[in-house]
A and B are shown apart, each in its own frame.
Chain A
Amino acid sequence: MIDLINVSYDTQIPNNVGLSSDKRVLKALEKWHPGYINWWNDLIPQNFQKSMVYLRTAVSVDPKGWAKFDYVKMPEYRWGVLLAPEVEGRVIPCGEHMGQPAWQEVPGEYRNMLKRLIVIQGDTEPGSVEQQRFLGLTAPSLYDMRNLFQVNVEEGRHLWAMVYLLQKYFGKDGREEADDLLVRSSGSEEAPRMLGAFNEETPDWLSFFMFTYFTDRDGKMQLESLAQSGFDPLSRTCRFMLTEEAHHMFVGETGVGRTIEKTCEVMNANGITDPYDIDKIRDLGVIDLPTIQKKLNLHYTLSLDLFGQEVSTNAANAFNAGIKGRYMEHRLKDDHQLKNDTYPVWDFVDGKLVRHEVPALTAINMRLRDDYTRDAAGGVGRWNKIIEKAGIEFELKLPHESFHRQIGVFSGKTFDPDGNLLSGEEYDKRKNDWLPTHADGDFIQSLMKPVTEPGQFASWIAPPKVGIDNKPGDFEYVKLYMA
């Protein structure tokens, strides 16, 4: 009997899937492991590899105490395979097989569809680590550096989780796909990552925070949908990944929040009331709020593109097959098959944006995107509270979903952030008010000076309210290796 709560460390790989008794998969994973370690070692600058980082490691799937904190060198981090405990009698929650027992093995009929979903999910995990590989060099504090590495190792663990599924359930093809996850690389000409947003650079820390807030949140929504999968091992894997994903979103939200807090604080200290007094604000070594809005515009809209076409046959097929559900499928009150339901979808008729009803089955992506937008709005509200509290008249806003889009009905058309259609000329003229310019980037880059004294923070960001694992403010989260 496998102990589902206490992870067995009796093999090289911490897991709660009984790896030690599954010699075949263990062999396959151990074969893949060296390639993974090479990937990791080539990726992160060497002095960080040798540093001791105060990280949490998943050791169990017990919600009351699933992680433990300790110093560890990243290459020695124990990337494990952890699945949420099996729910007895779980049934397929949606689609044409609804109510049938959840699949414990891959149904041959949907093998390729499932494999594709897992590969795409798997491809994003190392992708973000690659995008963020140089950020350690400009960390605004040891606290932030630690958070970066925490996010990185956990994305690495999520890759492990997807690789486990591929190797356990998809045979020879699955092993090849697992190998290819280490072949593709973010921004590569030869073999880029599969999704566009994961080939964009993460050039600075504000981008990193925006990325973890907005783009990791897309990951969260995808994981939420996959957690509803009728293929039980995928569902269980994603449910556990979600517990870790929450921290990534926390890093993003508090990172942006601390940046805003510092800007407001400096503005008030220097008697600046106009948030658009940009030069003056920048001279004080903090990032002005309009630029933060531009970064928000960029990352939010790139993330919206990750949801794909509003009306999608692939998404309909996956839902109908029962291999991918909707956000919170179990809480929705409908037939879970969407036989006659409709859902309003954006369209573009006679130069006007309208929402019209289409069969809900084909609008799965649109629905998930709407759920995402609602979810993403929460943090924006909390950021505005910080600004309000500081008494500054400025409000951050999510732009209209038609703005700056590359995928879906809005792509190829020029909208302003309020959703008004503009001529190309007009758009070009005002684009720099809405999206970060190279000059904005240069400015932010100029602030990216590493701060490695415990308890010290860069000029542009406020310290956190509480430390990780309730550690005191001057805690040395990373014991840097000095060559």
Chain B
Amino acid sequence: MFVVKHFDFDIIVVGGGHAGVEAALAASRIGKTVALVTMDRARLALMSCNPAIGGLGKSHIVKEVDALGGLMGKAIDATGIQFRRLNLSRGPAVWSTRAQADRIAYNDFVCRFVNADKNISVIEDTAGAFLVENARAIGIETEEGEKIFSRAVIVCSGTFLGGLIHIGEKQIPAGRRGEKAAYKLSQSFRSLGFEVGRLKTGTPPRLDGRTIDFRRCEAQPGDEPVPFFSYTTIPYRLSQIPCHLTYTTDKTKEIILENLHRSPMFSGQIKSRGPRYCPSVEDKIFRFKDKPRHQIFLEPEGNGTDEIYPNGFSTSLPEDVQEKAIRTIIGLEEVQITKPGYAVEYDYCPSHQIKASLETKLVERLFLAGQINGTSGYEEAAGLGIMAGINAALAIDNEPPFILDRATAYIGVMIDDLITHSTTEPYRMFTSRAEYRLGLREDNARDRLFPYARKYNLIPPEDYSCFETLRNQTEATIKSLKRQSLPVSKLDGMARYFSKRETVTLAELLKIPGVSVADIRPYSNGIIDDNEFSAEVMERAAIKIKYDGYIQKQEREVERFRKMEDEVIPPSFSFENLTGLRNEAKEKFVRYRPNSLGQASRIEGVTTGDLAVLSIHIKKFRSSLRT
């Protein structure tokens, strides 16, 4: 068989969105040469929808990407115009950072960063087909027929595969508004034997801020001190721009319900599923008729622009209805729409077709990341992109893949969800998806992922040693907080918690709900201000102390979980020949091909009885291997 000897690049990344950029950068950090094939080199990591990064579950992913040396956290820190910490009234596991970006500056920052990377060549073109030999990807052919050879291919096609925009009755073939889509690649997927499905997502109209009466809306300022994302960011002074909160009215409801039949979602023009957690405004009003009003957040798109993104008003209604409806919102009575909202349908590959490494099961060294796996959101895309980049690089070197489990990272939760539940609606991260949530926090992303980042050379070595100091100081601080005690009589308000005691440790004080580091500072004898990274160390120490018992309990659960994950199903195990299994279960196993008993247990519709049967077969198979 003819073997290609000449490769133009180590890796080709198809698509320059949030997934593609992280994939290219990660592969480059590992030392691979990368061709980043994109339709428009000036639109790398463009924010197609809302101009914001982070939010619940999502910010956790950003911090994880950051701890793996990724770009997203750095980019938003450099170009954010407002930063907030959500859920501060709740526990640290569900604290979450969210930032508004200057859309243009963000895109610009990423472009410069990628252009400066010597291992990455940005090629302006459209992929039309995969080059595959012996079920292994060896490159792509552009729509024009030019061939580029590589050792691995990563596809991050976003909404561009077979993209079709809907605005009312109008249908426009496009990936984003005004940008052409890619039509040939889906065919290439199909001819390789992939199942290709269709999903839908939507975006609201953009508004001219000069025509909005902000005085009638509620201002939402950013937080001080600014909660940045990246561990590499040196805090700087930022004059933050506020968002505004407003509401729909009875009139909005009336207009939308009257025109429901003109929405492609309701007329049947769009058949694919959209995300339930980010429904269009018509969907919200239709499904929750009793709700008198819905929130609309007015988010600025950046410095030096008056454009406003009305979060909560995603719609595919015809333009005239959009205009009529949006003008019923408080403060928006005179508003001018600059760009209409729309729904977009696109092709994706249902995610049972990838392995935990994001490599496809059908074609070796073909990796999929981002919306093509059925996810939604910049952060999810970035998380998948960075993993695909690392794993493509490892595959080229014949190294075992880098897989994060559910107890280590939100990225691990996401990928595991994808490979055990083929999504039929766009997948978004939530903290409630992570069963070991208490251990997967923003503050400990580095504790969880730096060892891997170091192993794969994703971060400068000095970052790791610097972190080690931080970690040691945290441990030392926890020890002294647990040791240092003081007489209860010295306490003021907190004394009531320890009425029967004479002395109490600082750690015990910290455990009281609502008590913060600042509250115990007066009693601390300087421990708190005594070290190099005092603020961060103290926060980390306080979190660990507050969660103490819970984290221990959870660790026991994690141990059990890992035991199941360690029950590996040998790759040569044949699911097709399983006997004594319910048909439904067998079909599921054949479809998902789980690689451990634990993974099998999470496949939807699989019962404990099925697992028992599977487990017997695995045992038998193993003992047959031995003999």
Q: Do A and B bind each other?
A: no
Residues of B within 8 A of A (CB): none
Residues of A within 8 A of B (CB): none
